[in-house]
Each structure stands twice: as structure tokens, then as C-alpha cells.
Amino acid sequence: MEKKDVNIILIGAQGSGKGTQAAKLSAALGVCHIASGDLFRKALQEQTASGLRAKVFLDRGELVPDELTVAMVLERLAQPDCLSGILLDGFPRTIAQAQVLDSNLQQMRKRIDRAVYLDVPHDELLRRLSGRWICRAHQHVYNSLTRPPKVSGVCDIDGSELYQRSDDKGEAVQKRLDIFFNETFRLLDYYRKQQKLVTVNGNQSIDQVYADILQVLTSTPTIKVGKEILTWQLPVPPSRLPSQSA
């Protein structure tokens, strides 16, 4: 079965670089970037009912309940800019979320094509989170250690103020990592059983990780599920993608 969109999930612990890579990949591939954490932070900024309900979980570094998370992501997924493909960052995080996603995509005659796991050692995750800064206007991501802005405290792209997330500090960081390794990690098996999982070494430069992900998506645009061969086309032909040699 061949189709002309591509639907990708980025899985990784907090600080593994999902948001950083998703921004580059969605721009290059012309697919819609859906980051559940960004959707919650935006809802909170706008003081919506969902944002206010989610706040207590965000502050504690805990998962927001499935029904609230799923409703928010599915609403975003149904928007027209998602037709050529989606890049999910931070969703799903539980098996229940993955199952609801699969059944909703099936109803839309879509499916997940690849789940890319960004593998990064624990010490490196903590190092990255402690140096992360985010821009208030559009959530552009910086790092005081590895990717500093040109002017301290100011976003290079839109000039807005940079801030440190409250859940990147104190007990919330360790709690988020524990939840990932105890709960979200089980998704690797879920997508492995569907033959969709690929692992990329996330402990390399941002450009090299990006190159490796593109390599995985372009070199094997096909998977075998049971007796069926599933193929997909990237919205942008591989020849028009940025150079993959970092």
C-alpha cells in the first residue's frame, strides 16, 4: 500500500532533542510539527480551560491525564496543515495514547510510518536540561552550554525574551525522567512489534543527529507489516532535502 504523506513519531527522554530535531525536520519535510508540551504551554499562556487543568501536572513534572492530552492532540491533527504529514513530538507517551492514536489515524485512512527513538545517556540528558532556554514567543530552543543565543537572554529569531522552564528545575526534572524510563519507554516495544521502530544515536551534534534521522527516513521508505509491504513518499523528494552529510 503506497501513500503520499509521511507520519513520524519522535520518542526520547526529556532533553534528548525531540523538539530541536522536530523543528528542523518539519521545515525540511513540509510536515506539521505537533508537540504536546508546546500545545499545553500555549493553552496555559492563553488561560484556556485545558491549559489551566494541565498546569498542576506540568508544574509537578507529571503526565497530564490521557483524555485531556488525546483530545488536544487529535484536535490539532485534524487541521488542514496536517494533510501532507505529521511529526509528533512528545505524543504518545503511554500505550493507551498510542492505541487511541492508531485507531483515529485508521479512521482517517492514515497510519504511523516510523517511530524514531533518540537514544541519549542519562548524564547528558541532565546536562542539556540544566542549560536549556526557551523563547517566550515561539518556543525556539537554545542551550547556554551547547547552543547559546547571539545575545544572552534574547531569541536570535524573533527577539523575544528567553526563559528557563519551571519543570527543568528541581525535583520535576528527575520525576520526568523517571516517568519516561518507567512508562513511556514501553512504547519502544509497542512500535517494535509493529516493525516501525528505529533507534538513532542522539548523543552526537545536532546536525549529525538530524542527518542520521533523514538517512533513516529516506533510505528505507518502506516497512513490512505481516505479509503487507507498506511504503510512503516524503512530501519533499530526497534530492531536494538539505545535505545529509553533517
Catalytic residue numbers, as ranges: 18, 93, 132, 165, 176
Cell numbers describing residue 184: 513511556
Nearest CA-CA partner of 197 in 216, 211, 212, 182: 216
Q: Which residue stretch of 74-82, 106-114, 202-210, 234-242 sits at the interface with ligand AP5 (rule: CB under 6 A)?
A: 202-210
Q: Using CB under 6 A, which residues numbered 70 to 109 contact ligand AP5?
A: 90-93, 97
Tell me, what DSSP letter sits at residue 150?
A: S
Q: Can residue 241 be called a binding residue for ligand AP5 (CB under 6 A)?
A: no
Three-state DSSP at 7 gives strand
**What residues numbered 106-165 form the site for ligand AP5, per CB under 6 A?**
128, 131-132, 141-143, 146-147
List of residues 6+ apart from 220 with CB closer than 8 A: none
Q: Which of 121-130's residues contact partners 24+ apart within 8 Å by CB, and which partners?
A: 121/203, 122/13, 122/177, 124/15, 124/203, 125/13, 125/14, 125/15, 125/16, 125/177, 126/15, 126/173, 126/177, 128/15, 128/17, 129/14, 129/15, 129/168, 129/173, 130/168
Return the number of the residue (128 or 232) whose C-beta is nearest ligand AP5.
128
User: From the list 7, 167, 191, 213, which residue makes contact with ligand AP5 (rule: CB under 6 A)?
Assistant: 167
Q: Which is nearer to ligand AP5, 5 or 207 (CB)?
A: 207
State which residue, 145 or 225, has the beta carbon closest to ligand AP5.
Answer: 145
The yes or no reply on residue 50 touching ligand AP5 (CB under 6 A) is no
Nearer residue to ligand AP5 within complex by CB, 40 or 117: 40
- By CB under 6 A, tell whether 51 contacts ligand AP5: no
- Asked if 26 touches ligand AP5 (CB under 6 A), the answer is no
- Pick the stretch among 12-20, 104-112, 149-157, 190-198 that binds ligand AP5 (CB under 6 A): 12-20
Question: How would you class 130 by CB atoms within 10 Å of its CB: exposed for 0-12, middle for 13-18, buried for 19 or more?
Answer: middle
- The answer to whether residues 137 and 38 touch, using CB atoms and an 8 Å cutoff, is no
User: Between 145 and 229, whose beta carbon lies closer to ligand AP5?
Assistant: 145
Helix 49-60, helix 66-77: angle, nearest 10: 120
Q: Applying CB under 6 A, what is the total number of residues that bind ligand AP5?
A: 36
Min CB(223)–ligand AP5 separation in Å: 24
- Residue 24 in 3-state DSSP? helix
Binding region for ligand AP5 (CB under 6 A):
12, 14-20, 36-37, 40, 57-58, 61-64, 69, 90-93, 97, 128, 131-132, 141-143, 146-147, 167, 176, 205-206, 209
